[in-house]
Amino acid sequence: MEWLDEYEKLVIRMDTPKVVIDNAVCPTATLVQVDSARKRGVLLEAVQVLADLDLSVKKAYISSDGRWFMDVFHVTDRHGCKLTDESVISYIQQSLGTWTEPSQPSALQGLTVLELTGADRTGLISEVFAVLADMGCSVVDARAWSHRGRLACLVYLRDEDADAVRVARIESRLGPLLRGDSDTGGGVVAVPACSVAHADRRLHQLMYAARDHDCAFPTPSVSVEGWAERGYSVVTVKCADRPKLLYDVVCTLTDMDYLVFHGTIDTNCGEARQEFFIRHADGSPISSEAEMQRVSQCLQDAIERRSFEVLI
């Protein structure tokens, strides 16, 4: 029926994000505002686009109630300047203006990813790549994080170097290296590159799965408190500002199945303060002290990892 077609068009127009990029509002940063219908993961998608462009979020305001979502980001480039490159501005508008499933980058087509996890030690990465070279594997790209005695690494190989027989041999040779004398597990998993949508997020997930917080280290300030009157849990982060800080925090909350309904981010003189009002996916707040401590610890770990990030 014609009226149903018009209704569907209206829903599409309402659900399509509206993106405004303005250089006139703030004298020191570019304003990026996103308004859209609410859907799970929409905040992480927005923050991820900004992080991938190496933009710094100086201030942000997050609001989401009912079916609607609104974010305002004050961003600068890596030199602390407003955005003036029209190609960057156009990319942000196109990326944030369509919540479609990202297509696999052509550079990753025909590749297999080795996901390596295990106990870290001096020289481990060198030994891993020596084994791969000895087996005639062509490494196209790689990224590794090491934190609190644990290692997570993604190694991209060409598909022809990662057939079932060779992968089995790789696993048999690298497994003992990655496990070492540790009884906390580790090893190699080979997956198609298309299954790793975002390298940084996958590294966070691998490190989170390893629960890399068994040792006592100085940590960023992260507090989690209840706000029973409004049915929220309030997460407050205070630490030195750095690139991708907001991404690392939002990524961790998302992967732990929390929804951010409201939030504020502010940076001043190199220090960052972030506050998030969160609930479980079912709409309930955090209900136990043990869970609050777990959230706090996981966020501390996520913030610290980037300081020890190694790009290969």
- Mean pLDDT for all residues in the chain: 85
Q: Specify the CATH number of the domain 2-96.
A: 3.30.70.260
A 10 A CB-CB count for 190 gives: 18
Reported as a single tens digit per residue, the pLDDT across 121-164 is 888 989 999 999 998 888 899 999 888 788 899 999 988 877 88
Give the residue-averaged pLDDT of 229-240.
Answer: 94
Q: How far is CA 135 from the centre of its chain?
A: 32
Say whether pLDDT at 12 is over 90.
no
What's the pLDDT at 121? 86
Say whether pLDDT at 216 is over 60.
no
Give the residue-averaged pLDDT of 65-92.
Answer: 91
What's the pLDDT at 233? 97
The DSSP 8-state label assigned to residue 103 in this structure reads P
Q: Is residue 156 within 8 Å of 194, Cβ to Cβ?
A: no
Confidence label for 119 from pLDDT (cuts 50, 70 and 90)? confident
Q: How is the chain split into domains, by residue range?
A: 2-96, 106-197, 221-306
What's the pLDDT at 138? 86
Say whether pLDDT at 55 is over 90.
yes
Say whether pLDDT at 259 is over 60.
yes
Topology (CATH level 3) of domain 106-197: Alpha-Beta Plaits (3.30.70)
Q: CA of 84: how far to CAs of 21, 73, 91, 103, in Å?
A: 11, 16, 12, 27
What's the pLDDT at 109? 74
Rg (CA), the chain: 21
Give the residue-averaged pLDDT of 214-229.
Answer: 76
DSSP H helices, 55-187, are 86-96, 124-134, 164-179
Tell me, yes or no, if the two domains 106-197 and 221-306 fold the same way: yes
Give the residue-averaged pLDDT of 67-76.
Answer: 91
| Gap between the Cα atoms of 109 and 194, Å rounded | 7
Reported as a single tens digit per residue, the pLDDT across 175-194 is 888 887 665 667 888 888 87
Q: Tokens 């940590």 correspond to what residue?
A: 219
Give the residue-averaged pLDDT of 42-64.
Answer: 93
The region, left, alpha or beta by phi > 0 then psi within -120 to 50, assigned to residue 50 is alpha
Percent of the chain topping pLDDT 70:
85
Reported as a single tens digit per residue, the pLDDT across 79-108 is 999 999 999 999 999 888 765 554 555 566
Is residue 184 exposed (0-12), middle (13-18) or buried (19+ Cβ within 10 Å)? middle
Q: Is residue 241 within 8 Å of 288, Cβ to Cβ?
A: no
Confidence label for 3 from pLDDT (cuts 50, 70 and 90)? very low
Reported as a single tens digit per residue, the pLDDT across 271-299 is 999 999 999 999 999 989 999 999 999 99
Question: 221-306 is classed in which CATH architecture?
Answer: 2-Layer Sandwich (3.30)
What's the pLDDT at 14? 54
Q: Is residue 285 within 8 Å of 226, Cβ to Cβ?
A: yes
What's the pLDDT at 64? 83
What's the pLDDT at 41? 83
What's the pLDDT at 15? 59
Tokens of 290: 């043990």
What's the pLDDT at 13? 52
φ, ψ for residue 46 (rounded to 5)?
A: -65, -45
Confidence label for 5 from pLDDT (cuts 50, 70 and 90)? low
